């Protein structure tokens, strides 16, 4: 069995990947319903995250930095910022958020193009 720290890091990597990709694909101009869906997702993510300490710390960050859901760019930058807060707490390097939308491409751009047709 892998060391606990390795497992925790892998879970973190996978979770952040999904988290940032969802934010980077959130609509440019979300409807109130789409905003609610993302707000619910973020809150649930914090509640169900299986590393208890992580979830507790993250809930505190969410209180301090409430999700900014007015647009894709705003949401993605908010997500980058809150991950940077976690990085800071874990003494990791700060991530450059300026290319966040390009950094998290889901490979599903075609779907979006079809939706617009
Ligand atoms: P990760 O932080 O996992 O990041 C993965 C990749 O995302 C990086 O390689 C980089 O390419 C990119 N990235 C880095 N920063 C950003 C950013 N700001 N925005 C966008 N992309 C970025 N671990 C603990 O030990 N204690 C905790 O309390 C804790 N809390 C956590 C809370 C949550 C909600 C999550 C999802 C994870 C938490 N973790 C915690 C795990 C921790 O954040 C890392 O995932 C883990 O330490 C592995 O780190 P890493 O250096 O591989 O990069």
pLDDT of residue 67: 98
Fold classification of 8-116 (topology level): 1.20.120
**Are the C-beta atoms of residues 83 and 75 closer than 8 Å to each other?**
no
* pLDDT at 106 (0 to 100): 87
Q: Could you state, in order of their start, the residue ranges of all structural domains in the chain? A: 8-116
pLDDT for the residue 34: 97
| Low-confidence stretches of the chain (pLDDT beneath 70) | 1, 112-117
The predicted pLDDT at position 1 comes to: 64
Question: What atom of ligand 1 comes closest to residue 83's alpha carbon?
Answer: 18
Please choose, from the candidates 24, 41, 13, the residue with its C-alpha nearest in 3D space to the C-alpha of residue 75: 24
Q: What is the pLDDT of residue 108?
A: 85
Pocket, ligand 1, Cβ cutoff 6 A: 8-9, 12-13, 15-16, 20, 49, 53-54, 57-58, 80, 83-84, 86-87, 90, 92, 95
- Cβ contact 81:92 at 8 Å: no
On whether the CB atoms of residues 82 and 5 are closer than 8 A, the answer is no
pLDDT for the residue 2 = 73
Question: In 3-state terms, what secondary structure has residue 98?
Answer: helix
Nearest to 55 by CA among 65, 46, 64: 46
Q: Which of 2, 8, 12 has most ligand 1 atoms within 8 Å of CB, for mutation?
A: 12
Segment (H or E) for 95: none
């Amino acid at each position: 069995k892998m060391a606990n720290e390795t497992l925790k890091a892998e879970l973190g990597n996978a979770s952040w990947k999904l988290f940032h990709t969802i934010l980077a694909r959130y609509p440019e101009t979300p409807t109130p319903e789409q905003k609610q869906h993302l707000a619910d997702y973020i809150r649930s993510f914090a509640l169900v995250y299986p590393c208890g300490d992580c979830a507790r710390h993250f809930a505190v960050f969410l209180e301090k930095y409430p999700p900014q859901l007015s647009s894709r760019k705003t949401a993605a930058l908010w997500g980058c910022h809150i991950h940077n807060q976690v990085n800071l707490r874990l003494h990791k390097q700060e991530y450059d958020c300026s290319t966040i939308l390009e950094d998290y491409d889901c490979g599903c751009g075609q779907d979006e193009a079809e939706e617009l047709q």
